[in-house]
Structure 1
Amino acid sequence: MKHQTFFRTTSALALASVLGVAAHAATPEAGSVIGNQATATYVNGAGDTITVTSNKVETVVQQVAGLLLTSDNSEEIAPGGKAFLPHIVTNTGNGADAFALTAVEGAGDYDFASVVIYADADMDGVADNATPITETPVLAAGERFGIVIVTTTPATATAGQTETVTLTATSQLDGTETVTNLDTLTVATGAIMELVKSMSVDKSAGDPTIVDAGDKVTVTLTYSNTGLSASTGYTVSDVIDTRLPYTLSSAQWSDATVAGGLDESNGALVDATNGVGETIAWQADAASNTVEFEISSVAPGRTGSVTFEATIGALAEAGLIENTATQADASGAYPDSNTASVEVDPQYVHVIDDSFTQSDLSVLRSATDDDAANDSVLETTDTAQGGTVVFEFVLGNDSNQDDAYTLDVSNLDFPAGTTFRVVGADGATPIVGEVPLAAGTGTKVTLIATLPVNAAPAAAGTTNYTATIEATSTQSGNVNTSTAEFTGAVLAATVDLTNAVAGSEGTGDNPDNLGAPWVTTTADPGETVIYPLELANQGTTSDNYNLTLDAPLPDGWTYEFQLPDGTVVTNTGTIPAGQSATVNLVITPAEDEVPGTTSFEIVATSPISGQSDSIVDALTVNTVVDLAISADQTTQAAPGGVVDILHTVTNEGNITITEGALSQTGLSQFSGVIYLDQNGDGVLDPTDPVIDNIDDIAGGIAPGDSVQLIYRVQVGPVPGVAETGTISIDTALNSGAATDGDTLDNAVEDQIVVVSGDVTLTKYQAIDPDCDGNPGAFSKERQAVEPNQCIRYRIVAANTGTASVDDVVIKDIVPAYTAYETCGAACDAAVTPATATLDVTGDPLIESSHGALAPGADASLEFTVRVDP
């Protein structure tokens, strides 16, 4: 598997600067690696322009937690009353998470008698049970969960006093992602209106033992003023579920002094008056199934009700029908009523037939039935020996709720050995288990009878084969049966699938090559291979053939069938009797596939006759051996000094490398030693061992993995002398059992110059999680970063020599998966010393010029990038 790294060499920096190309990519996935190197140039005392490169820093994108909490509540409450405060927790992270919950009252005017959190999984604003909770269940990404906070106000609370509850939800994934809501409760001095909705059912219209279509529903809206002042202009609006159409002229007011219904035909006029002169105006809109009334005044302590009727509609499905009413008066809106409900009982009726009329009055009909006079399905089209007979049935759910059906087939007098399959509406997908159907809907199912290959040929009209298909309701156990009848002729038919490769054809019906594939092709991982195939229709009528592989290929492999012109197909198209067609099977193994041979069976099957043929071919994935070392560097040292150069060795092949010589050449006046950076911190530690072979690494290097080397070079005493040290990986690996197939990346060259002015370039990184200019500690080691967080880079050029250097220039580039960021000026790019100049206009190229640098002095460039969200 190829291990991608993201960095730019000096030439890449120059190219990006010239072309103005942004070095950004698509949003990185978790685990993506962001990294690059910086470069610097300067002029030493001898007038030489010298280029040095920094170490490479890497950052890994992590999974993140996310949380949304809705919403704040603000309500009035009477002394001694209870408040029910609904909230919804949403997981906005990129993985499964659960959330701890706390509810803490504030330092308000009074203390609650109690504060408790309950589950509200259906999010209707009413607690599911009386069991308090302190956390949500585990929620998938994007999933929501409802809760209700119940508070009790003491009887001693006085009007105008307020108290708050702070709800806090905290991610269990990292313990730091926290969101709060604030609920405010104010003790009221005016009217406080409470609205309770109830619905009761009269079962007499239909089956008196169940609630079903046609039953009358009495809806009661009970209002109460629990406050201290009258409510004026009190209105209630109820948008009724369309499955409960309103019954005209059915409304009654409990306070009416004159018996009789409320009149919805007189607009907003008064419909009734009570004994103290309060009036009610009633309106109903049948089109929107909405009712509304307004009462002129409701005195404190007064309770009344309005009742009306609705009817359970003919198309109402089994299950709950829920409704909530809203209320308001001249002072504003009050909380909605409770959610009232009616539960329609299930009734089960279904058919399997040649037609079905759905609830929307559309009709499904069998497309294969040659006799519409009865509910059986007749097929008269001829078939072949081993061929298929197709019967399309219509399965319909006439129940008032969703149901599912199992299908069973019984052979009455088809030839012995006939097999039966039931497939879906597409005529191809097998039905496994149940067929779910919504109430009032139907679907087509197809019974495919496949005759045995030795079925005796028969003339049309002499067959009269029949089978029955039964549909059994999962909910009720009810069974409905229909019949499949075939009266066509049975003809001879066959197909031959072969390789279009001389000597490897595989001619005949499912030929056997003594257990071996007929054609075996070799390829590298990710390399596409083509297998030319030929299909011959050896039957007596034209036919077409579906093309498949008998079993799935390994994960990550892809395949498709193509016509000779490149058109992708899954079927050959019609092939006349006695003729042939050519198709190509195109297979691509996975990019990271390990060496080995995979056999596969290619199958051509006629959807008409059911005849099929197959051949077995194979693909051998080659062993790919490729160790790569990166990257060339240019550095310098003071006379007699040492320099540590970092390099990364990556296994870009598909086998583990456990042995392979490492060598360093090219140094004559200088000396060099290669060390294994065991902890990967980029610093040579006393415990880091000298390494000259991959077998010095425990376990070797697995495909896609990397190790870091430190090349320590001690230079000679004469300024101006330069040597190039080469680190090479032997192409003979694993004790000669493997040979590196890509030798272009088996060596790096490091140029080391002895200079009187010795400049070293070191790159550091720090994570700024909030992109606010406050990064953490800087380090050369790999760090973790999340999408939409920032990385602050610091590149330090230090003159470790004994003489001044001039024209110091530091260059870096914004790496892939990121964008240059200023954090609204909070994390602008910066340079030292203050006299240095900065140029970010070439983004993604960032460049600073520092002029002269005295011995012992250093210069730096800092800038920030934001990881793509």
Structure 2
Amino acid sequence: MKPLQMNKLAGACATALLAGGIMLHASPVIAATAAGTQIKNLATVTYEDENGNTYSAQSNEAVITVKQVYAAELGVDTTKTAAAGQMVYSQHTLTNNGNGKDTYTLNVADITGDDLTADSIQLFIDSNGNGLADAGETMVAAGGTVTLTGGQSVALVMAVKVPATATAGNKLYAKLTATTSNGSVVDLTSSGGYDSANNTNHTLITVANDAVLNHTKSAVLDAANNQIAYTLTVTNTGNQVAQDVEIFDALPGQTSFVSASAAGLLTGNGDTLPVSQSLSEATAGADLNKDGDMVDILPGIYAKDAALAPGATISVTFRVAYDPLTFNNNSIPGSAGDIVKNTGFLKADQDGNAITPPVIVPSNPVQTVLPQLYGVVTDDTGDNAKSAPHNDGLDDNTLDDVQLVTTAPPGSAVWFSVDVTNNGTGRDTFELTTSGSSFPPGTVFTYWNASGTVQLVDTNSKGGVDTGMLESGDTARIVVKAQLPTNAANGGIVTLTATSATAPTTVSDTTTLQLQAISAAGVDLFDNTGSAGTSANEDALGTAPYNINHGTNPGTRQAMAATVGSTVKIPLYIDNGSGSSDSFQFSIGSSWNGTTVGGLPTGWSALFYKADASGNPTGSPLTSTALLPAGSLGNAATNQYVAVVTIPNDPAYALADYLADNNGDGTPDIMDANLDGDGDQPVFISITSANSGASDIMLDAIDVENLAQVELTPPGSNQIQPGGSVNYINTLENTGNTTETLELTSANSLSGESWGNTVKVDTNGDGIPDKTLAELQPGDVIKGVDVAGNVVNIPVTDADNDGNPEVTMNPGEKFDLTPTVFAPSSAAPGQTDVLTLYATNIGTGPSTSVEDVSIVILGQVRLDKQVAIDANCDGTPEGTFQANLTTEVAPTECAIWQIQSENQGDALAKNVIIRDKVPAYSTYEVNSLKYCLNLGCAPAAVTNEGEIVGSDIAFYVGTGSVPASQLGGDLQPGQQATVRFSTKVQ
């Protein structure tokens, strides 16, 4: 077994986009299965002939697409106390609880019917989540929009200015409205709050002459140390001294106290420095853990300021630790994506009157999303049952990461059982590959479920076979089958690798699969600091076309390399050339029209931080620098910052070759900063002084590395009769971020023995394959679809004039190929034909292939698989069954999977068993197994003909089946059996 392999994310922060491309910070939460996810499934049938020979066949692949559902919430109404003339801040969190992107329109208003009219009401994006509108944070104009992806949230702050003429007791109501064209935004206040309606949050401000305490809280995740730092800040914005200001903050569940500090508290003044102690909710006068009562005794932090003067501020900072391997506060295994929520409370005497009770003032709530750690372990099983047959993966004897099979006959399928464990802290899928094979030439490796009855597929469209989604800590046993050629003479070794499909860098583990020997042929009967100096803009950006200008000779440094889903740290060194100290606000974007920095592209995000001595980000995100000393240079530690740019995980938004308007003239531009031939992503970073207006702009570039990926799926397996034919469907897809040109060819392993085949494609868009590869000519087009499902024309060329068609595919495009295999009438029973389709890259990019395996039998059982939507999950399909369902299925809706098994041969098929597996992103619907026998029959609930064990489904079909003994029945030539089962989309 290998040690745990983990890569920590620097944070679990994401961004959303305001109209016009303004950046905002948001936090992801666990949501339903993402809209557009494809859920794929295929079935397998096994049967015997009358002599006891065993055969198997696969169905076609059936596919459903997850529908987008819309849901959102806005937080709760708040109450505030303020002095006349004070600016009051009220934080509200907008969350997209749906499974796809949605856009929300935001407005603020002064409510009539109260005592006052606010001097002003403004709305800001609270980038650092501290409940205040800080310098440089984005103000949202009336009717401004914010776009959030599924599961994202954004903190909003209303800034309400109380009139200076207000008197004690006056009340002022302010309203925040968030709307979407896709339904309501739920007001989490009980019964809809002040207006008993959704889409709104209200803030009630009461004017007082007493002490007014502004209580705010911020949280900073220290993922490297598995800690969270909380800072509580209390400011007296009123007119009187606040007496006995007590701070209570309960530690979040499953965390432990690390340290505490304070600013503004002195024990000599009678203050109490922050200490870790048990807190009584009854003493605090608050529900510290938000469980609906005030009777608990909880571990937490306590501090006290004996007297807080008007205009004075104190702060308390404490750190808590969590264990990412055991932390879990929701129903989903693992700590990844778990939200740690915390609110602080204070109790104080605001009026100096011993008779009136002290006031309880909560802070703004803060939430921290825990990042995902990634890990995978693959292991051999150590099984040594040596059951029959001897090539069933049960010859191993030791847990040594080598799965051993001692011997197997030529032409057999050798089974290797391997356990794949998700050793990370959240859900993950693992790509399965084999490499370094010394097996006999012609050996074909395939991947199956634990029982070897259902072939694994590509559940995440990453380009290869995978385990399907595994929860944190779950183990999936898989079977790797090595189909040996009939002339195999020697054993071999191959390496199985399981690689995380979601980790930003490679996280994988390997296990060796070894076949010691192949038995002799025969018969046997048993079983990159800045150039500091003059503090002048020595490298002005100038006019378009722009060159890199970042403190070195313009245009000399290559672009920063990045990969899909990674982060890039851009160091920032600032010379303050003014005669006074100054602070500068940051802006970042992908275009510059001479006056304004445009937004970053869709899916891209950036945050600014203070840099440490190594250039790494520290503390919480910033919107402006600290006050930099006059004449200070960038080589001073005080003047060093860093921008952290996050590249999207989706290759469609992280193209290797960028073409975009970077100067605002409406014409696309190419920036090739490193002269490697492809377009780089420009990154304009500006700093501006709000005091002097001094500004500068720097241009950098990011070169997203090629993620060239193409795939041909799924591999096919079926039977064929002598003189018969069989059809397969394979899909060629560009799953990377580069445009690829591929030459299409095929090869038949038995072409020299009168076997034949054709491979057809659809060129007119009617859904029917109409031209073979040999018939395609330069200038033709193949009809396919893009990543959004739109029909596209894929051009055909033949640059090398070899007669083989070439296709150029953009990222996200795919199309179907339909091979037909023809067997000669002389084909012998048991003969195996392998038709290989090749998509060979004419450049340096990746190629791909897929194999369709046809086995000759006298009798043959074929499977056809289709799926229909059952939105009500009542077992009744709404619409027709289709192989690729055109109706999208929403989370919590169901799909009915139907498999039809038909004996298309002229001999009896015995012991017929249909096997399937609950697909990824789905759960089985209880009591949904249905079955019927004969053509045109209507499936009814099974009595004992079907069973589900874990996620594996089996139907024992045909006449005379004995399900209790796991024996299938007989299918006569021409006879058909139909089975169904239902799953619910998560």
Provide TM-score, normalisation by structure 2.
Answer: 0.39
Provide TM-score, normalisation by structure 1.
Answer: 0.44
The structure having more radius of gyration, on CA atoms, is: 1
